[in-house]
Structures are given as C-alpha cells and as structure tokens.
Structure 1
Amino acid sequence: MKFVCSQSDLNSNLSFVSRAVPSRPTHPILANVLVVADAQKKRVSLTAFDLSLGIESSFSADVTEEGKITLPAKLLNDIVSRLSEGEITIVAEEVEEDETLLVLLKSVSGQFQVRAMKADEFPPLPTIEDGESIELPIVILTEGLKGALFAASSDETKQVLTGVHLTGTQDSLEFAATDGHRLSVVQTTLQPSTDDDEPGDTTEMPNLEGFSLTIPARALRELERMIGGRPDTEAIALQVDDAQVVFELGQQRLTVRKLDGAYPNYQMLIPKNFSRTISLERKRLLTSLERVAVLADQKNNLVKCTFDSEEGQVSLSVETQDLGSAKESMPAEITGDSGEIAFNVKYLMDGLKALPAKDIQIQLNEGNQPVIFSPLGGLKMTYLVMPVQIVK
C-alpha cells in the first residue's frame, strides 16, 4: 500500500474516527484504526469500531498502490497531529524475516516507522440491507440534540436511560432524555418546502409515523460533531433495522447499536395543571445563577429560588456554612401565590443553557412536585426538573 495525502486531511479524519476507539479494547485489533487505500477511486478511508459504535470517514489521496492495514490509533494520532502541514507519504511493507508489518510515514520534517497489524482481523462495520431508510434535515437533528442530549443519564447501570429516545409522527420528530431527576423533551417540526426555497430545494419531508428508537448518548455526541458546521439545509441519511442505526453524511458514516428495552412513558410525568406561573428573561436568570453558584456547597449543590408575586420579583440565594452566602434578584411576571423552591444548581443551569429563547416560562405547583421550564415562542421544548426539599 502506498499513498500521498495532505496532513490536514489525514489529521482531521483520523481525529474524528478515533473517537470510536475503545479506551480498554477487548481485543488488540480494536485499539487500531483500519486504513483502506483505493487506487480506482483515489480515496483513503479510515475506520474505528468498538463493537458498539463504529465511525468511518474517507478523503481524497494520490493512491499508487492500493491495500488495507490497521495502525495503532493513539500512536498514529500523536504522530500525525504533530507533523507540519504539507504532504505525507504512507507506505506499508512486510518484513520477510519475521512477517512483521511496518508502515513508513514520510513528511517534510522527517519520517516515522510504525508497527502495524493485518486488516483481516478487523471486524467489519454492520450493514443494513432491508431496514427502514429516511432522510432528515440537519436542522432537525441539531435542534433535537441540543435540547435533549444533555439530560441523558451517564450511569451505565441505567441502560436505556443512557440514550435519547426518538419518536416520530406524520409531521414531527420528538427527542426525549431523562436521568431520573430531570427530563427534557423537544418536538421538532418536519417543515414542508415553501415558495421561498431555491429551485431544487424540494427535499420531501419523511413521514415518521410509528418511528421509535433509543440511541446511545455517546453516539449522538459524535453525531453532533459530524453535523457541526454543516448548513442546516443539508440532509443526513438514516437507516434503521432491528439492531443497528446508520447515519451517513457525505463521506462520513456512523454506525451504532440501538439500546434495548422499553423507554419510560415520560409524558405521564409531565403535569397538566399548575397553580403558579413565572415568566422572565432566560439569560438574566442564567447569569445570576452562575454567580451565586460559586458559593454552592459541593455536597448538596443547592440554590433556593424565592418568588414574590406582589413585588414581581424572583430571588436566587445560596447559603454555605463554611463559605458564606449570596443572593441576587430580578424582575419577573408572576401569577399565583408567592413561595420558595430549591433546585440542584447543575440541573437548573443545564436546562437554562439549552432552552432556545430570550424569555422563558416556569410552571410549578406545591412542594416537591415537578417544575416545568419552557421557552416563550420558537422551538417547542419542555424541561422538567424535580425540586429538592428545603430543610427548615
């Protein structure tokens, strides 16, 4: 195998696929990245796979001898990222005496020799032959993931809660994530083409009636990187079967195993009626929260929220025995009785950062019942947080 490519192409594609390399591989080959050079297409593809998440990406190169080989992902990353910009020549050759595979990397500044492994042992990425296939506008995924992904559980023992649940209807796609303490639900609309669209921009919106699956949050974070910086007008191909989900965008492909198990009926958790409603500016609430949170005790990480309907004011306060206290107030429109409630600072900040609006609405009832945060206008998003009991 022999090819010449640019350092920037190799570096960016290698960095992207290497995120699927396991930190503790169950087999030595999984610590490697598969390199395939195609002389006919004049392209080089890179693949990494941890048996659950697989990422493949390709780029153009001057391939004089095609072939495939696997190289240690971390070592290759460390080398390529430190090379200066310009052309890199990669040559794979077998040492006859002991059948060792060696790969030579030549750049302007010098050369490196790296031991490699044959590609035969590298597991192939799963393919979907007869599954469902749809095209989704990137803007739908961007909105849905930004609003829901942060709320997924990081506790691997919670299995299905470590993913984001997608549910489709005829004209919408809903994203939901919960870790048992908070829940975020985003409903994105599948907009049909309008008269303002450019000629040729007549992508038919898919009918997602009955569409339902749960995708691991880790894979969706890589999907966010994959679609980041792409125009909202682009679409990504999505294929689904009983076990796998495949996302394809340009020369990049992400394959992931779906999460098994029934996702909780989260709609049952969202209250339908509220005794109090608070409307206020989101950014002001967030910046005030960030300031008082400096004094939050790491053990309980609590902030108390006091709302005064007569004064039209919301106050945030933090008291820590060993550090001190802090309090900030801001104007708000309040209906219902005055009162106070406490939240985990992190849960509150995460939700406020994700809510896509200038002004937000907070809906709540008495005591320890769920509190709902939602944007006033724009995207339809519901963020539910369980309050923390205030000890008098």
Structure 2
Amino acid sequence: MKFRVDRDVLADAVAWAARSLPVRPSVPVLAGLLIEASDEGLVLSTFDYETSARATLTDAQVSDEGQALVSGRLLADICRSLPAKPVDMVLDGPRVSLTCGSARFSLQTMPVEDYPRLPDMPAATGTVPSARFAHAVSQAVTAAGRDDMLPVLTGVRIEIDGSTVSLLATDRFRLSHVELEWDPRTPDTSVAALVPAKVLGDTAKSLTGGGDLTIALAASGTGEGIIGFEGLGAGGVRRTTTRLLDGEFPKVRNLFPPEHLTTATVDKGDLVDSVKRVALVAERNTAVQLAFSNDEGGQLTLDAGSGDEAQASESLHAEIDGEALTTGFNPQFLLDGLTAIDQSSVELAFTQSSKPVVMSGVGDGQDSTFRYLLMPRRLLS
C-alpha cells in the first residue's frame, strides 16, 4: 500500500471516520481505522458493531494497492498536527510509515483479517437537503433522553409518510416534534425507525458538505434493522450506518392538545435572557415561576427563589389571549426549548396551569414546524 493525499482532506476524513470509535473497545481491533487503497481511490473505515463510517477520497494518488489497520484516534491526532503539505503513507511490513514534509511517523498495524466486515447500506429510501435535515435533527434531539436505563427514550423516532419526514423525541418530561419535506424514492413510502439520538445528531451535523443527503432505511421488521446516511464531505462521499434501537416508542402525538385556553406571545430573546437571570437564584431541581396576566396590556412575570434564600423577579410584555394563569418549569428545559426555536417570537399555549405548555415559533414570515411540549414543575409555596 502506497499513496499520497492532501493533508487537509486526509485530516478531515480521518477525524470524521474516527469520531465514533469506542473509548474502551471490547476487542483491540475495534479501536482501529481501516485504510484501503485501490485504483478507485482511498477508503477510510471504522466500525464498532453498532455504528460504521466510511469516507472515500477520490483524489488520492494511489501508487500501490493494499490495506492496513491502525489506531484511529492516534492517526487522527497525528493528521491534525501535520504541516500543510502532501501526506505520503506506505505499508512496510507490520508498520505504516507516514511522511509529511520533514515530519515522519511509524505506526504499528493490527491484523486486518480480525476486523469485522462493515454492514452494507440498505436501499435508498429518499433524499433531503443536508442542511435542512441537520437543523431539524438539532431541534428534535433537544428532548431526547440521556438515561441509558431507558434506551428507547434515548432515540429519535423517524416517521416517513410519503413526502413528509417527522422527527419525535421525549425524555418523559418534554417532547419535541418537527416535520420537513423530502424526496422519497417511492411516493407511497410509509416507514418508521428509532435511531440513537447521539448518533443521529453527530451524523446529521457532519454530513452538511452541500447537496442532498441520502437516507437508506431497513426497519427492524423488514430486514437488518439499520439506517444509513450518505452525503458529501471534503474529498468525496461519506457514508455511515447505525443499528436501530429495539423497543416500542411511546405514542406521544396525542399529548399535543387539539385546542388551547390561553396563549401568550413573547419576544424570544427577551424571554431567554430573563429566564437565565432569574434562574440564577433558583435552587437545584426547583422551578422558575411564570405568571401570565392581562394587566398593563399583557404581562409575563418570572420569579425564582423563596424564603430566606436569594430571590429574583422580572416582568416582560406579553400578548395574552385567554385567562390569566401561573405555572412553573425546569429552567434548563425551558431554555432548551426556547433556543431550539428559530423565530424571533415564541408562542406558549396552555390548556391549564397544571398541564404541559406547547411552545412554537411565530413571526419572521416563517411557518414553524417545530413544537416543544414541556411538563410543568410543582411550585414551592
């Protein structure tokens, strides 16, 4: 194996492929990054039996075909530190030598024959603009759970119905829902999958090199139970797959109420700043109180702290439609939902103070497809 490749292209591709390598691999070879050089270019791959990544570099100048398996994290660190000059790599017996300018490294290889075979991509289900998908995913993962004891809630449910893709996530205390249009391979496509939120978020963010992102889905009941993504990156095509989560995602759509008795529209930036200030005196696991009233043409008053401890209060103008009410929320969960909204104003919709609020963006001439439902917290008396 012998090839030459641009330093920036190599460093970016190695970092992308190595991003999901396990910190404590069950077997040593799973910490490896597989390098394959052929007439078609250079392919860099990683796989931990759950998530695979494959970056193809078509501009690499391959002199001798071959393959080698080296430490992925070490190679990523080395490539990141190299000078801005072409990189030459040569397999010499049990070691790989890397030369970039006057810098030279020699890396021990691992047995390629022990490395697991990467899974094949399922058949393409459809395509979506990569930047739009990445943004929708960043909104959806806001409400995904992080408790590995409840693995189903650590996923994002992707529901595909014709030309519409819906993303849903919940950790039992909040719920996110966002929709986007896409181009399905068949117009009557109807399928759903539960994808690990962390993998989905990292993948969507990393495949925004331009153009469309291809989504390839084999749902658990119809095949291998994996989902694949293919998009453009520096130097060529990048492809990643991950296994779907097992289990039944809760039926959460009906948690969004069909009508509301009170709605309040507030400037999002002002509300974010006020929550951050007032929350400074909120004790751990206590709520920030929100009181909506029709006084002075509509007003929202935020309070936190109680008793002999520090207290804070702040009022904002709000357009109130409906009855006055007082409720309270976990301040961090409230901020998470607010910052995920794109528009400059936010609508908070209630059925009653003890029921969840539904938050969505309004204004700026944009239609918001993102909704964030948040359970209230008990207020301290």
The TM-score, its normalising length taken from structure 2, stands at 0.90
Number of residues paired by the alignment?
367
1:132 Cα shift?
Answer: 5.6
Alignment partner, residue 195 of structure 2: 215
Give the 5 Å matches for 1:229-248.
230-231=209-210, 234-241=211-218, 242=223, 243-248=225-230
1:390 Cα shift?
Answer: 0.7
**Is 1:166 equivalent to 2:158 in the alignment?**
yes
1:277 Cα shift?
Answer: 1.0
Find the residue that maps to 1:156 and give its secondary structure: coil
Which consecutive segments of 4 or more residues in structure 1 shift more than 4 A?
A: 203-206, 320-323
Find the residue that maps to 1:155 and give its secondary structure: coil
2:246 and 2:7 map into 1 onto residues whose CA distance is 40
**Contact 1:168–1:208 (CA<8 Å) still a contact in 2?**
no
Alignment partner, residue 43 of structure 2: 45
2:294 and 2:214 map into 1 onto residues whose CA distance is 50
**Contact 2:348–2:358 (CA<8 Å) still a contact in 1?**
yes
2:338 and 2:6 map into 1 onto residues whose CA distance is 42
Distance verdict in 2 for CA 1:235–1:85, change over 3 Å: same
**Is 1:126 equivalent to 2:119 in the alignment?**
yes
**Is 1:292 equivalent to 2:278 in the alignment?**
yes
Find the residue that maps to 2:246 and give its secondary structure: coil
Distance verdict in 2 for CA 1:69–1:268, change over 3 Å: same
2:258 and 2:62 map into 1 onto residues whose CA distance is 62
Alignment partner, residue 312 of structure 2: 326
Deviations 1:65-100 (A, max 9, x none): 111111111211222211211112111111xxxxxx
Find the residue that maps to 1:290 and give its secondary structure: helix
2:66 and 2:227 map into 1 onto residues whose CA distance is 28
Deviations 1:294-322 (A, max 9, x none): 3332x215311111222211122221678
1:127 Cα shift?
Answer: 0.9
2:127 and 2:186 map into 1 onto residues whose CA distance is 7
Alignment partner, residue 175 of structure 2: 183
Alignment partner, residue 89 of structure 2: 90
Q: Which range moves more in the overlay, 138-147 or 244-253? A: 138-147
Find the residue that maps to 1:211 and give its secondary structure: strand
**Contact 2:128–2:181 (CA<8 Å) still a contact in 1?**
no
Alignment partner, residue 340 of structure 1: 326
2:246 and 2:205 map into 1 onto residues whose CA distance is 25
Alignment partner, residue 377 of structure 2: 388
Give the 5 Å matches for 1:306-385.
306-311=291-296, 312-319=298-305, 324-376=310-362, 377-385=366-374
1:207 Cα shift?
Answer: 2.6
1:160 Cα shift?
Answer: 1.6
Give the 5 Å matches for 1:93-172.
93-94=92-93, 101-128=94-121, 131=123, 133-172=125-164
Structure 2 unaligned regions, length at least 5: none
- Percentage of matched positions with identical amino acids: 28
Alignment partner, residue 193 of structure 1: none
1:88 and 1:132 map into 2 onto residues whose CA distance is 34
**Contact 2:290–2:326 (CA<8 Å) still a contact in 1?**
yes
1:88 and 1:236 map into 2 onto residues whose CA distance is 29
1:115 and 1:320 map into 2 onto residues whose CA distance is 62
1:182 Cα shift?
Answer: 0.2
Distance verdict in 2 for CA 1:315–1:140, change over 3 Å: same
Give the superposed CA RMSD.
2.0
Alignment partner, residue 28 of structure 1: 28
Distance verdict in 2 for CA 1:9–1:222, change over 3 Å: same
Distance verdict in 2 for CA 1:175–1:363, change over 3 Å: same
Find the residue that maps to 1:274 and give its secondary structure: coil
**Contact 1:91–1:104 (CA<8 Å) still a contact in 2?**
yes
**Is 1:65 equivalent to 2:64 in the alignment?**
yes
Residue identity matched to 1:79: I
Find the residue that maps to 1:148 and give its secondary structure: helix
2:339 and 2:230 map into 1 onto residues whose CA distance is 29
**Contact 1:356–1:378 (CA<8 Å) still a contact in 2?**
no
Distance verdict in 2 for CA 1:205–1:381, change over 3 Å: farther
